[in-house]
Amino acid sequence: MPTPYDEMWEKLNLDLPAHEGLLQVLGKFYGDIYLSQEGRLKGMEYLDFVLSEVHGLRIQELQEAKARGRKVIGTFCIFVPEELVLAADAIHVGLCAGADIGKEAAEKILPRNTCALIKSFVGFKLARLCPFMESCDLVVGETTCDGKKKAYEIFANYAPVYVMEIPQMKNACDWDLWKAEIQRFREEIEAVTGRKITAPKLREAIRLVNRRRRVLQRLNKLRAAVPTPISGRDVLLINQISFYDDPTRFTDKMEILCDELEDRVKAGQGIVPHKTPRLLLSGCPMAVPNWKLPYLVESSGAVIVGEESCIGTRNTRDLVDEGGESLKDMLDFIVDRYMKIDCACFTPNAERVEHIVDLARELRVDGVIHYALSFCQPYAMEAFKVEKALQNAEIPMMSLETDYSLEDVGQLKTRVEAFVEMLR
């Protein structure tokens, strides 16, 4: 069916028939997983609209901004400091890598035993299905896990790629390395955009990104109520959309949604009955449109009340100190804030385990599901330490490994149902 965006998609060199198929599948999943929920907040209508226009209006906005001279910078990791991108008047988009639609193409140039997230971003590019990726003037990679690090070498044959080196430990020399990397990134962004990052611009960007983090913190505090006023699926969607929507508009809309949530909490209204088992999801990021596990969990009689993940609290927990006067101070505060990220790529990474136990207690969860993508060694390895710490805290945990395919849905559902039953 023709759409008002066909010409734009054609200019972006998308594979139009395959792209139409993708949007149809996405629409069907969205209807089943999201729109079928009862008692959703009025504020979620904005998110439904943004998602329905995911490859339409937002891409049009990006093209219009590009026509006015702004650059679009795509990223795959929360280590990339968005503040520097915004301070150079560029647009930052977190690229999605949550579907296995280009898997076959990806497996021709990557080992099959690569995690689904990596295969997904390579597959989207090879299959010409992502208008965000095709809008990017630069894609920023990072040396987090080995899979990503090596995949960017291959990906660079198909897109303009810049790679940031991420430290693997948190000693003084790692701080120095990260500081140098932030400086190198600043120079790269200035070169790509042709704009200088000045102190007033960086201050404005720090405040803007902090404001978005704060509203998501507010949301997470509100959902800690018993009974929880919003489904985990909806919060995951909010977090996913936060990566590519306009940050000011998104934050304004989320303030309104939080006001509505506050009313619900005051009135003691929950999205599920009082005794519904409350779960924390912990582990690998769930990029759009990876909704498989949250849907399985919430259709098995439990509710998700927290995500210890990069598309969750790992991205919103820490703010950049806003007290920096000079550009140097501000850059130092950015260095400090990003070094607090507790990705499993770090060693020894004890703080992640502590954060999980603290979060589980704060959210009054009945159990934790640790989620690792198949072939993701950093998170699969850490699952053992996490389980031990949760055992000591007397919080039950189940560890799952899966990918983006639907082949294991039956098996996963059986395991999730058994876990939820055990928690009752």
Residues that bind ligand BJ8 (CB under 6 A): 77-79, 115, 117-118, 144-145, 147-148, 284-285, 310, 341, 343, 345, 373, 376, 378-379
Residue nearer to ligand BJ8 on the CB measure, 367 or 378: 378
CB of 376 to ligand BJ8, least distance (A): 3
Residues in the chain: 424
CA angle 132, 317, 53 (to 5 degrees): 25
Q: How far apart are CA 338 and CA 169, in angstroms?
A: 13
Residue nearer to ligand BJ8 on the CB measure, 270 or 283: 283
Is 56 strand, coil or helix? coil
For residue 348, cis peptide bond before it (omega within 30 degrees of 0): yes
Residue nearer to ligand BJ8 on the CB measure, 54 or 376: 376
Residue nearer to ligand BJ8 on the CB measure, 78 or 327: 78
Residue nearer to ligand BJ8 on the CB measure, 131 or 378: 378
Q: How far apart are CA 345 and CA 22, in angstroms?
A: 32
Q: 120 near 106, Cβ under 8 Å? A: yes
CB of 323 to ligand BJ8, least distance (A): 25
Tell how many helices (H) and how many strands (E) occur in the chain: 19, 8
CB of 424 to ligand BJ8, least distance (A): 31
Q: How far apart are CA 421 and CA 301, in angstroms?
A: 9
Residue nearer to ligand BJ8 on the CB measure, 78 or 230: 78
CB of 347 to ligand BJ8, least distance (A): 13
Q: 131 near 47, Cβ under 8 Å? A: no
Residue indicated by tokens 């550009």: 327
Q: 386 near 356, Cβ under 8 Å? A: yes
CB of 192 to ligand BJ8, least distance (A): 21
Quote the longest CA-to-CA distance of the chain: 58
Q: 364 near 326, Cβ under 8 Å? A: no
Residue nearer to ligand BJ8 on the CB measure, 151 or 202: 151
CB of 99 to ligand BJ8, least distance (A): 14
Residue nearer to ligand BJ8 on the CB measure, 235 or 376: 376
> For residue 161, how many other CB atoms are within 10 A of its CB?
17
Residue nearer to ligand BJ8 on the CB measure, 43 or 285: 285
Q: How far apart are CA 254 and CA 217, in angstroms?
A: 11
CB of 287 to ligand BJ8, least distance (A): 8
Structure tokens given for 85: 């991108």
Structure tokens given for 249: 């508009």
Smallest CA-to-CA distance from 96 within 212, 241, 284, 234 is with 241
CB of 91 to ligand BJ8, least distance (A): 19
Residue nearer to ligand BJ8 on the CB measure, 60 or 168: 168
For residue 289, cis peptide bond before it (omega within 30 degrees of 0): yes
Judging by DSSP bridges, how do beta strands 367-373 and 278-283 pair with one another? parallel
Q: How far apart are CA 368 and CA 358, in angstroms?
A: 12
Distance in Å from the first CA to the final CA of the chain? 48
Residue nearer to ligand BJ8 on the CB measure, 379 or 404: 379
CB of 401 to ligand BJ8, least distance (A): 11
CB of 173 to ligand BJ8, least distance (A): 20
CB of 85 to ligand BJ8, least distance (A): 16
Smallest CA-to-CA distance from 366 within 220, 222, 226 is with 226
Residue indicated by tokens 């150079």: 88
